[in-house]
């Protein structure tokens, strides 16, 4: 591991990407502590609640919301727009064809996602303005119209959201990649120290609970890694054929299908959809039934059931988006490959699809169980560390770390260096 890190910093291009990623994440965390103009920074601490829907909003903003920061909206408007665009691709044929056009089509879809992110950011900013005012936060100074400061707050929060989107895309393009997930990772890690101190401050029982939590996490991480690295290997045989004067094919290989093809995307998408009612609730801070619905969807047995359903749904949905059995079967047929005992073409596609469905279900259920069990425990204990460092957070962090390590390792192997794991 240490040798791999040394080799990563020996390669100038890779070193620049790593340092650029770190610099962008530092800029993001600095922005998370810059308050909106006219807001007393220190006076905001502890003003907003940390449970229910507000706790969910604060968690995904990396604590920026608790200070009414310029980054209070966080990365969620961008994630929400990405989810909407993914869903629309399966509904609107023109978008589906655009997605199949390669880099040109993806560039256009990305541009549509940016416009949608802008619209969602403006709506969320207006909702947050109502929310802040409901807690007695005033942005107007003496002698100035309040509407001017309202416009300034909405504009600042919208600009902050677009800046976060830009930082995420920069990390993806010029850094080590996966900018959206790395920002979520930074948000989770930012709230960890405060949660640890809060848990340790509960006396002897708090210390015991903290130790137990970390022991359980250390035991669960190997299972998560096993799930992320697990593969279903379908044997493939290539027929012999003559190309010119050479005999080609005849070898045996396998088609690797990841057990968890969708990665941490189902967790992120499910959390984003459950986060959406909390976003709606900020428009109606004084309407009790709206807050009650948002809190019920943010925590409790309704949240647990919806989490399981959404994680399983997005596991299948996203797997179908990134892995097409028909295309795989067609490519095998074109290259002279076949699965022993299975006819090429439709039969091969059906066989691959059946295998994919069988391995997706247990992996999705495992993700759902790991995600909701800590929430159930938190509902009985109230320990903040369980909420901040629960199953969803651990799954996202482990998944992001493994994906980042894979990207760095692929760069190392391009320069004939050994990776992190020999």
Q: What is the pLDDT of residues 317-340, one digit of tens each?
A: 888 877 888 888 888 888 777 888
CB 45 within 8 A of CB 67: yes
Asked whether residue 173 is domain-assigned, the answer is yes
CA torsion 78→83→84→85, rounded to 10°? Answer: 90
| pLDDT band (50, 70, 90) for residue 4 | low
d(CA 298, CA 302): 8
Residue 283 has a CB neighbour count (10 Å cut-off) of 16
- Coarse DSSP helix, strand, coil percentages of the chain, rounded to the nearest 5 percent: 70, 5, 25
Asked whether residue 25 is domain-assigned, the answer is yes
Asked whether residue 421 is domain-assigned, the answer is no
Q: Indicate the number of domains in the chain.
A: 1
Asked whether residue 422 is domain-assigned, the answer is no
pLDDT at residue 51 greater than cutoff 60: no
Which residues, listed in sequence order, are joined to residue 46 by a DSSP beta bridge?
A: none
Buried b (16+ CB within 10 A) or exposed e, 320-353: bbebebeebbbebeeeebbbeeeebeeebbebbb
Asked whether residue 420 is domain-assigned, the answer is no
Range of 38-42, 241-245, 340-344 with top mean pLDDT: 340-344
DSSP type of residue 248: E
CB 33 within 8 A of CB 67: yes
CB 294 within 8 A of CB 281: yes
Tell me which residue range forms the domain holding 72.
2-414
d(CA 76, CA 121): 9
pLDDT at residue 2 greater than cutoff 70: no
Buried b (16+ CB within 10 A) or exposed e, 65-92: bbbbbbbbbbbbbbbbbbbebbebbeee
Asked whether residue 49 is domain-assigned, the answer is yes
Q: What percent of the chain has pLDDT over 90?
A: 2
pLDDT at residue 130 greater than cutoff 60: yes
CATH code: domain of residue 133: 1.10.3370.10
Buried b (16+ CB within 10 A) or exposed e, 359-384: bbeebbebbbebbbbbbbbbeebebb
For 33, phi and psi rounded to 5 degrees? -115, 10
Asked whether residue 188 is domain-assigned, the answer is yes
Asked whether residue 79 is domain-assigned, the answer is yes
């Amino acid at each position: 591991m240490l040798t791999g890190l040394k080799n990563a910093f020996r390669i100038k291009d890779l070193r620049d990407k790593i340092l650029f990623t770190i610099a962008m994440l530092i800029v993001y965390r600095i922005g998370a502590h810059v308050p909106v103009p006219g807001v007393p920074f220190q006076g905001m601490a502890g003003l907003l609640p940390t449970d229910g829907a507000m706790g969910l909003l604060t968690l995904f903003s990396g604590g920026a919301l608790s200070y009414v920061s310029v980054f209070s909206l966080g990365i969620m408007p961008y994630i929400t727009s990405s989810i909407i665009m993914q869903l629309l691709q399966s509904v609107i044929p023109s978008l589906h064809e655009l997605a199949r056009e390669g880099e040109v089509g993806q560039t256009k879809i990305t541009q549509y996602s940016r416009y949608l992110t802008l619209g969602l950011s403006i709506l969320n900013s207006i909702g947050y303005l109502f929310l802040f005012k409901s807690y007695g936060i005033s942005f107007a100074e003496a002698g100035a119209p309040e509407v001017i400061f309202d416009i300034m707050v909405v504009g600042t929060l919208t600009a902050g959201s677009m800046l976060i989107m830009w930082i995420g895309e920069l990390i993806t393009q010029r850094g080590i990649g996966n900018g959206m997930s790395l920002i979520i990772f930074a948000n989770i890690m930012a709230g960890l120290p405060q949660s640890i101190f809060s848990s340790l401050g509960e006396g002897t029982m708090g210390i015991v609970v903290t130790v137990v939590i970390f022991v359980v996490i250390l035991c669960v991480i190997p299972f998560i890694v096993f799930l992320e690295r697990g593969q279903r290997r379908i044997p493939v045989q290539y027929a012999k054929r003559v190309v010119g004067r050479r005999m080609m094919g005849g070898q045996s290989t396998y088609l690797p299908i990841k057990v968890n093809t969708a990665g941490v995307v189902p967790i992120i998408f499910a959390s984003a959809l459950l986060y959406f009612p909390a976003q709606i609730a900020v428009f109606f801070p004084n309407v009790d039934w709206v807050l009650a619905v948002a809190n019920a969807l943010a925590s409790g047995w309704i949240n647990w059931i919806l989490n399981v359903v959404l994680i399983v749904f997005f596991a299948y949905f996203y797997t179908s988006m990134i892995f097409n059995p028909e295309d795989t079967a067609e490519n095998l047929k074109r290259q002279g490959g076949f699965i022993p005992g299975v006819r090429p073409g439709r039969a091969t596609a059906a066989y691959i699809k059946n295998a994919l469905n069988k391995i997706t279900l247990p992996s999705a259920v495992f993700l759902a169980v790991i995600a909701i069990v800590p929430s159930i425990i938190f509902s009985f204990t109230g320990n903040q560390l369980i909420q901040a460092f629960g199953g969803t957070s651990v799954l996202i962090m482990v998944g992001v770390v493994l994906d980042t390590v894979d990207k760095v390792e692929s760069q190392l192997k391009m320069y004939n260096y050994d990776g992190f794991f020999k």
